Structure 1
Amino acid sequence: MAVKKLNETTYEVSVVREGEELKHLKEHVLVHFKDAKVDGFRPGHVPAKVIENKFKKEIEGEILNHIISDEYRKAVAENELKPIADIKLEKYEHNDDKVEIVFTIPVLPTFELGQYKGVEAEKENVEVTDETVNEEIERLKESATKLKEIAEDEEAKNDDVVNINFEGFIDGEAFNGGKAEGYDLTLGSHSFIDTFEDQIAGHKKGDEFDVNVTFPENYGAANLSGKPALFKVKVNSIKRKEEAELNDDLAKELGFDSVEDMKNKTRENIIKREETRAENEFKNKVVEAVVNATEVEVPEALVQREIDYQINRFAQQLQMQGMKLEQYFQMTGQTLETMRESSKENAEKAVKTELVLAEIAKAEEIKATDEEVSKEIEKLAAMYGLEKDALIADVRKNGNYERFIDETNYRLVNQKTIDLLVNEAKVK
């Protein structure tokens, strides 16, 4: 066996088995096939040559697995490697007398840390003006705005919420998905095609009328794209926003004691929010500076794994919105390949950050205590509305306990490491 370091993330292992060594290995493998069923022979009495001919591919596969398994363990142990993914078979040549194998092992890179204590980063000085507070107060007022039905002789206008029944026709024929009753439509929202909303403006409650529109050329349903349509519409009700007045009653409705209390607490909330944002931005800048100060070759295997993780997480978010990844690709014109390519840069940054933080934690001997892990599990359980023991029981039931503890430990160590960097950092 010969082991060669190709680069910081890949080792190559070359193996040759021949002569008596290969012969003994074949004999060892053939033992597993001695009871194989072969027509014309009793189990256990099949000649070796017959077995070799009938199960040639299976025997070759067993020999390959034996050699790779043995040499892989030796290469890892003797060279103190840290494998991070499955091996890749680069070469496999064989005949009755000789087997040549070359495979590569993806490993964690070794690297020297750059400066990670005392790095400099900019930190925003938070200032909250009266204007910012007033804008937030306006948003709170907007949230308290109520919809009130207008008089029957009043006409609908932009920003009104109009409740309608409608049915669509193309060439006099109703089409699927073109009918609804009791639908609330905000005029001016541009949620309906063409001038649909414009043609409702000016009508009153109880009006029944026709709306003529044309579906856009790139409309999602091919059978409707570019076609003119007529909608029969009836207005059931019209509601208009009734702007809330800023007074103590409104303040109490929103959970404050008075307008003055509302303004003071709103200012406090904004300050807390902005200080948290500024602190998080500073933290991110510190970590980025530390990571940039270290040169490390990022393993492609870990990058691809991170891309898988990012895409799976995105697919789960889509699923929560009732959409599948395939539907998203159809709507956006993307493909899985283009998504993987566009995700690569962020994935490389994420992997490098993870490697550098892990190396710093090792250098600083940062660990999470059993008590800290226990408290973190309690917090997680509370988030899910569970008792700690119930969460652990659920994780054990799914067979994920060891992984769950490892991930919890990793998060704590990671956060402690970042806290160290931030505490040691200097504000520009």
Structure 2
Amino acid sequence: MAVKKLDETTYEVSAVREGEEFKHLKEHVLVHFKDAKVDGFRPGHVPANVIEKKFKKEIDGEILNHIISDEYQKAVAENELKPIADIKLEKYEIQADKAEVVFTIPVLPAFELGQYKGLEVEKENFEVTDEKVNEEIEGMRKNASKLKEVPENEEAKNDDVVNINFEGFVDGVAFDGGKAEGYDLTLGSHSFIDTFEDQIVGHKKNDEFDVNVKFPEAYHAENLKGKPALFKVKVNSIKRKEEAELNDDLAKELGFDSVDDMRAKTRENITKREEARVENEFKNKIIEKVVDGTNVEAPRALVDREIEFQINRFAQQLQMQGINLSQYFQMTGQTIDKMREDSREMAEKSVKTELVLSEISKVENITVTDEEVDNEFEVMATMYGMDKESMLNEVKKSGNYQRFADEAKYRLVNKKTIDLLVKETKVR
């Protein structure tokens, strides 16, 4: 076995089995196939050469697994590696009397922490002015506006919400992802390609018409790039915002006693929100300074995992709006590869931050008690609208309790680590 360090996050393992060693390994594997069923032979009486020919792929796979398992364990133990993901098979060759394997192991990088105590970081001072309060109240007034369906003889205009059915055609043929019914579209939002929304402006309820657009040259679907398309569109309804008036009735509708009460409580809410924002930004500045001061490489395996996590989270958010990723790509011209590329920088930063905070928690011996974890469970149960026992029972039923508990411990240790950094930082 030969182990080579390729970089701070990757080790390469090369192994060869040949001669008698290979022969014994192969015989060991063949034992598991001795009772294999082969037409024309009784179980247990199939000649070895017949088994080797019929089950060559499976036998080679078993030999590979044995070699990798042995060499992986040795490499990890002898080099004190900390693997973070599955190995990557780089080479596998098997001959009559020899097998050669090369694989890489992604590992946690070794690194030295930069300065994380005695830093000086600027903290924002803020003031809640009457202007900010009035701006917030104006926002609530506008948000209280209700969408009201306009009369059938009125035409759609920008900012209206039109409910439409549509189906797209290229060269007279309908294409995948180009059809929907009962879709709410805000005109002027530029959610759809080209001048799609502009061509709906001026139409009325129950109008059926054609919309002609052109797909972008950089569109992700090869069969649609730069192609002109025709959409058959029907307007089911047109809704327009009806602005609310600021008075005691509106204040009560929004949960206040009066407009004066609305102003007082809005000031309180802004103050709490701004205090939380300033504190959060202060913490982020500290963390960023600590991470920037530490020379650590983000393992590609962890970065790729973080990218997929971010994309899955975005997909879930879209799903809550009734849109899937495929539809999103059709509407925006985005691609999954471009999305991954755009997410990489943020993912690398996130991974580096996680590595640095984890190392600080180890150096500072930061731990959590069972009582603290139990309290965290109480908080999570409240967040889910459940009692703690019911929540934990559901988690145990799904077989995810250990991971659930580990994640809770990780969050608490992370919070304590950040609190330590804040305590050790001088406010500038």
- With normalisation by structure 2, the TM-score equals 0.79
| Residues 159 and 240 in structure 1, CA contact (< 8 A), matched pair in contact too | no
Instruction: Tell me the secondary structure at the aligned position of residue 217 of structure 1.
Output: strand
2:213 to 214, 217, 223: 217
| Residues 188 and 197 in structure 2, CA contact (< 8 A), matched pair in contact too | no
Letter in 1 for 2:213: E
Matching residue of 1:387: 387
Matching residue of 1:21: 21
C-alpha change, 1:61 and 1:157, in structure 2 (3 Å) is closer
Matching residue of 2:118: 118
C-alpha change, 1:163 and 1:316, in structure 2 (3 Å) is closer
Superposition pairs of residues 227-242 of structure 1, within 5 angstroms = 241=242
Matching residue of 1:204: none
Instruction: Tell me the secondary structure at the aligned position of residue 104 of structure 1.
Output: strand
Matching residue of 1:288: 288
C-alpha change, 1:149 and 1:385, in structure 2 (3 Å) is closer
Instruction: Tell me the secondary structure at the aligned position of residue 33 of structure 2.
Output: coil
| Residues 93 and 100 in structure 1, CA contact (< 8 A), matched pair in contact too | yes
Distance 1:73 1:199 in 2: 69
Instruction: Tell me the secondary structure at the aligned position of residue 4 of structure 1.
Output: strand
| Residues 128 and 267 in structure 1, CA contact (< 8 A), matched pair in contact too | yes
Superposition pairs of residues 254-265 of structure 1, within 5 angstroms = 254-265=254-265
Distance 2:54 2:180 in 1: 65
Deviation at residue 325 of structure 1 after TM alignment: 0.6
Deviation at residue 320 of structure 1 after TM alignment: 1.0
Superposition pairs of residues 15-54 of structure 1, within 5 angstroms = 15-54=15-54
Superposition pairs of residues 147-162 of structure 1, within 5 angstroms = none
C-alpha change, 1:251 and 1:82, in structure 2 (3 Å) is same
* 1:360 partnered with 2:367: no
Matching residue of 2:219: none
Letter in 2 for 1:318: L
Deviation at residue 224 of structure 1 after TM alignment: 4.4
Matching residue of 1:315: 315
Gaps of 5+ in 1: 165-176, 201-207
Letter in 1 for 2:264: N
| Residues 120 and 425 in structure 2, CA contact (< 8 A), matched pair in contact too | yes
| Residues 120 and 426 in structure 1, CA contact (< 8 A), matched pair in contact too | yes
C-alpha change, 1:131 and 1:4, in structure 2 (3 Å) is same
C-alpha change, 1:417 and 1:211, in structure 2 (3 Å) is same
Deviation at residue 267 of structure 1 after TM alignment: 2.0
Deviation at residue 293 of structure 1 after TM alignment: 0.7
Matching residue of 2:333: 333
Deviation at residue 144 of structure 1 after TM alignment: 5.8
Matching residue of 2:173: none
Matching residue of 2:344: 344
C-alpha change, 1:121 and 1:190, in structure 2 (3 Å) is closer
Distance 1:282 1:270 in 2: 18
1:211-240, CA deviations, whole angstroms, 9 ceiling, x for partnerless residues?
899845349998745x9x999x999xx999
C-alpha change, 1:401 and 1:142, in structure 2 (3 Å) is same
| Residues 142 and 243 in structure 2, CA contact (< 8 A), matched pair in contact too | no
Which piece of structure 1 moves more, 190-199 or 398-407? 190-199
C-alpha change, 1:414 and 1:34, in structure 2 (3 Å) is same
C-alpha change, 1:260 and 1:380, in structure 2 (3 Å) is same
Which piece of structure 1 moves more, 83-92 or 138-147? 138-147
1:8-65, CA deviations, whole angstroms, 9 ceiling, x for partnerless residues?
1111112121222111111111111111223333221223233223322222221111
| Residues 194 and 214 in structure 1, CA contact (< 8 A), matched pair in contact too | no
1:384-408, CA deviations, whole angstroms, 9 ceiling, x for partnerless residues?
2211111111111111111111111
Instruction: Tell me the secondary structure at the aligned position of residue 389 of structure 2.
Output: helix
C-alpha change, 1:90 and 1:275, in structure 2 (3 Å) is same
| Residues 190 and 197 in structure 1, CA contact (< 8 A), matched pair in contact too | no
Distance 2:149 2:57 in 1: 79
C-alpha change, 1:295 and 1:178, in structure 2 (3 Å) is closer
C-alpha change, 1:148 and 1:211, in structure 2 (3 Å) is closer
Q: Identity, % of aligned pairs?
A: 67
Deviation at residue 145 of structure 1 after TM alignment: 6.3
Distance 1:80 1:23 in 2: 31
Superposition pairs of residues 184-195 of structure 1, within 5 angstroms = 193-194=197-198
Instruction: Tell me the secondary structure at the aligned position of residue 24 of structure 1.
Output: helix
Deviation at residue 194 of structure 1 after TM alignment: 4.4
C-alpha change, 1:122 and 1:326, in structure 2 (3 Å) is same
Instruction: Tell me the secondary structure at the aligned position of residue 3 of structure 1.
Output: strand
C-alpha change, 1:27 and 1:230, in structure 2 (3 Å) is closer
Deviation at residue 121 of structure 1 after TM alignment: 2.1
C-alpha change, 1:271 and 1:36, in structure 2 (3 Å) is same
Matching residue of 1:105: 105
- With normalisation by structure 1, the TM-score equals 0.79
Distance 2:136 2:86 in 1: 54
* 1:407 partnered with 2:407: yes
Letter in 2 for 1:383: M
| Residues 187 and 197 in structure 2, CA contact (< 8 A), matched pair in contact too | no
Distance 2:294 2:106 in 1: 21
Distance 2:288 2:382 in 1: 32
Matching residue of 1:244: 245
Distance 2:252 2:31 in 1: 85
